[in-house]
């Protein structure tokens, strides 16, 4: 499938079938992983700043703090983009699920109409 498209399969004999490739991992778990990664980076940066203090390089400490603040801003932006992406995926999956339920309902009602017509035809003959 191309970028931005999803393949959906419907099993006409049994029930609605969602291909394994379409199932998305739990969005909350994804955000937790991103948050853990950001925390690891932040802790690593903090250790770097502490080693600079211990090493006697206090003159460049303000530059390092500014660098850390810029890095944190970038990481917050990345995390925000991941949240938006996850929300978008959730909305798409929800929409597709509703359409698949609608298809299933239409099939049911079409079968009922066909049976009524069949019964009507048999009675008229």
Residue 34 lies in a domain: yes
User: What's the structural domain count of the chain?
Assistant: 1
Query: Distance between CA atoms of 125 and 54, rounded to whole angstroms?
Result: 99
CA atoms within 13 A on the CB side of 23: 6
In tens digits, the chain (125 residues) has pLDDT values of: 456 666 666 555 555 555 555 555 566 677 778 788 888 888 888 888 777 666 666 656 778 888 889 999 999 999 999 999 999 999 999 999 999 999 888 888 888 888 888 888 888 87
Residue 115 lies in a domain: yes
Residue 2 lies in a domain: no
By CB atoms closer than 10 A (0-12, 13-18, 19+), residue 83 is middle
Chain-centre distance for alpha carbon 120: 49
Residue 99 lies in a domain: yes
Residue 1 lies in a domain: no
- Read off the pTM: 0.40
Residue 61 lies in a domain: yes
């Amino acid at each position: 499938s191309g970028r931005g498209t999803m393949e959906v399969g419907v099993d006409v004999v049994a029930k609605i079938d969602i291909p394994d490739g379409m199932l998305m991992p739990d969005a909350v778990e994804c955000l937790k992983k991103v948050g853990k990664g950001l925390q690891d980076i932040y802790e690593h940066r903090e250790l770097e700043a502490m080693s600079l203090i211990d090493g006697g390089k206090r003159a460049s400490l303000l530059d390092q703090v500014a660098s850390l603040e810029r890095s944190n801003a970038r990481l917050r932006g990345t995390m925000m983009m991941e949240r938006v992406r996850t929300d978008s995926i959730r909305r798409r999956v929800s929409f597709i699920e509703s359409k698949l339920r609608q298809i299933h309902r239409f099939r049911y009602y079409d079968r009922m109409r066909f049976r009524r017509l069949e019964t009507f035809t048999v009675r008229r003959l």
